[in-house]
Structure 1
Amino acid sequence: MTLSIEQLPSAVQSLATAYLITGDEPLLVMEAQDCIRNAAREQGVSERQVYEINKQFDFNQIQVSADNLSLFAEKKLLELRFDKVPDKTQQQHLLALIENLNDDSHIAITCPKLDKRQLGAKWCKAIAERGHVVQIWPVPSYQLSGWIKQRAGSLGLSLDASAIRLIAERSEGNLLSAQQSLDKISLANLTPPIHAEQVLDVIADSARYNVFELIDTALAGDGAKTTRMLQQIKAEGVVPVILVASLYREVRNLLKMSEQVARGQSVTAVVQEYRVWKSRSRIVSTALNKVPLTVWQRLVTRCAHLDKLAKGAETGNIWDELLTGLLLMGGRPLWRKVL
């Protein structure tokens, strides 16, 4: 059976044998995993084993684990996390594992978004027959403000329209980033209704470099600082797909803005039309004046490639490719040394 994440909490009240979580929205994927894990614990599953799956992974160890419970466990949950869409060999292993799973074992598989054709594969159908396929969809941009308001309410926060807009703008559709901002605000003990200036003080109060600061630094043309910030973000374990999604949205917006400038509209008018936040207007205006339309067009193509790299659909060094894209955003000639 295919479920949305909204349907999952009621569905797990009776724990199924198998689950597949597929999607590219990290926050919702993690919440779906937590939902299944918590339900399993409440229903007497006392042992849990997690496997990170790559091309070299030996599936025999999962089969052995599925067939053998520990001395004190009555039921077991096996979590399989794929960094890429399973290839044909892995699909065969998954099909055999699902078909031969004993009554005391449950399995939860997570992988990047599968298209309609991929969801029709035998292993996916086997999961649907013995359990549920949970498809994770991104929140559309026109629903993001409502999503933030709902999440804020669940944390007991009362945000005014300016605060919601700021969080939406800073997160740029990245739900994990928006949720992290809300979590920070909930710890700040602010007097309601909370407005944008209060939110900005809270979410900017961090020694860590964040994705939005990185993009603004790149737009400002500071290649050396951009390089250091990207290295720091990598060291902190930020998932590349989060960074790519934010970069992609920024580049698409800047391409649209650059196209209007190329048609004769003033940069100031375009920046106002796109409701660029006041604190970013100068950086964005400078980038539009400095970087030609052809570069933004190439950057959109590059971001499409980065998206495939981050999701494992193509091979390459994602961090090197990200740095190249960021430097291009600031109009940096790539042959010049930046460190």
Structure 2
Amino acid sequence: MRIFANQLQQHLQPLKPVYLIFGDDPFIQDQAILAIRAAARKQGFEERVQLSQDASFSWSDLTEEWNALSLFSSKRLFELELPTSKPGKDGSSALLQLLSTPNPDQVLLIHGPKIAPESTKTKWFKSLDKLGVYLPCVTPEGAQFDRWLANQVSQQQLQLTADAKQILNAMYEGNLVAADQAIKQLKLLAPTSVITQQQVEQWLDDQSRFSVFQLTDCLLQGSQSRALHIVKQLQAEGVASQIVLWHINNELSRLTQLKSAQDTNQSLQGLWHPLKIWEKRRPLYQQALSRLSFAQIQAMLAYASNVETDSKFFGEESWAALAHLCLLFDPKAHQQLTPMALH
């Protein structure tokens, strides 16, 4: 049975024989796994068996553990990580065999990255999906993110003005981990009072001497030297390069839409609100649009995408590539710089 993340609690009492938690959003996946663990503890599943389909893994390991008598508890939660979201031929057979006769004292939780549509049509997946629950962990976007954020704010009993919510939406859409941390920190700062737009802006500025938001403002303004200085400071402070890249990517996506409208003589007035660019920052975008051509913005977006892909594949920080990308916010750099080679 396929469900959405906000429906999971409805399917935890009693626990299903199997839960399939696949997707690329780490926050939703982690929250789902934690919720299943918590429900399992409440229902007497005191032992947790964790396995991962790595190079040393054998499907017989899972079968033996599943069939073995527990020394500690009569009820066990089995957690199986599939790093490729594919169990393979042997794994498919093993899973079908294990769950051919569900055991109410054992629950199987399988998790991994986004599963391909064709994999959801395989025999093993359809059989397990029929027995239990499939939760695709997809990052909410647009109106879905607005609802998700509103729900998180409500859970923390936080009071925000409409403008304050708009800033959080604009800053954190696509990054649920950062959004959740921001909401919890705001709760500590103002547990009972109404939080205004000005207070949120001040809080964002106070997060770090050199913040990612200051960096993107510098890039939009064309202040390359200060931007590079901030990049060095962010690296020294231990900020993950992927977070910085995500914010730059977000700005480039906005610039693409704005520049496309500008080049076709469309008014930008109707785009500010959908792109969640509040009035205070609009002059920054106007500066960037006056300097950069559509082709240059597209080239930067393509380079940023390559940096992201390279970082995910090799699992390395990419600060030199980020610095190169920052320089490209100066149109002269497109003629003077040779594209930086990645791996």
Instruction: From the superposition, tell whether residues 273 and 199 of structure 1 become closer, same or farther in structure 2 (CA, over 3 Å).
Output: closer
Go from structure 1 to structure 2 and tell me whether the alpha carbon gap of 1:179 and 1:12 turns closer, same or farther (over 3 Å shift). same
Aligned residue for 1:177?
A: 178
Q: Which amino acid aligns with 1:192?
A: S
Retained in 1: the 8 A contact 2:240–2:317? no
How many matched pairs? 327
1:228 aligns with 2:228: no
Let me know the Cα RMSD of the aligned residues.
3.8
Q: Who is 2:2 aligned against?
A: 2
Report what 1:142 is aligned to: 143
Amino acid at match of 1:95: S
Distance 2:98 2:182 in 1: 41
Moved more, 316-325 or 43-52: 316-325
Quick one: structure 1 residues 237 and 306, their matched pair in 2 at CA, closer, same or farther if it must change by over 3 Å?
A: closer
Unaligned runs of at least 5 residues, structure 2: none
TM-score, normalising length from structure 1?
0.78
| Aligned residue in 2 for 1:254 | 255
Structure 1, unaligned runs of 5 or more: none
What is the aligned-residue identity percentage? 24
Please state how far the C-alpha of 1:217 moved relative to its aligned partner: 5.1
> How big is the shift at 1:32?
1.2
Change in CA separation of 1:4 and 1:186 when aligned onto 2, cut-off 3 Å: same
Q: Which amino acid aligns with 2:136?
A: Q
Once the two structures are TM-superposed, the CA of residue 59 in structure 1 deviates from its matched residue by 3.3
Stretches of 4+ aligned residues off by more than 6 angstroms: 265-273
How big is the shift at 1:254? 0.9
- Of stretches 266-275 and 119-128 in structure 1, the one that deviates more from structure 2 is 266-275
Structure 2 counterparts to residues 114-193 of structure 1, below 5 A: 114-189=115-190, 192-193=193-194
* 111-120 vs 269-278, greater mean Cα deviation: 269-278
On the 8 A contact 2:21/2:32 being kept in 1, the answer is: yes
- Residue 318 of structure 2 is matched in structure 1 by 320
Counterpart of 1:78, as a letter, is F
Larger Rg, first or second structure (1 or 2): 2
* Offset of residue 184 of structure 1: 0.9
Q: Deviations over 1:260-289 (max 9, x none)?
A: 333457999987995633554454344333
8 Å CA contact retained: 1:166, 1:196: yes
1:95: which partner in 2?
92
Which residue of structure 2 aligns with residue 30 of structure 1?
30
1:105 and 1:171 mapped to 2: Cα distance? Answer: 38
Structure 1 distance, partners of 2:290, 2:214, is 20
CA deviation digits over 1:199-225, x for unaligned, max 9?
A: 223344324866545544555434633
- C-alpha separation in 2, matches of 1:69 and 1:324: 56
1:21 aligns with 21
In structure 2, the residue corresponding to 1:6 is in which secondary structure? helix
**1:197 CA drift (Å):** 1.1
Distance 1:68 1:116 in 2: 34
- TM-score, normalised via structure 2 length: 0.77
Q: Contact 1:172–1:249 at 8 Å: present in 2 too?
A: no
CA distance in 1, matches of 2:143, 2:203: 25
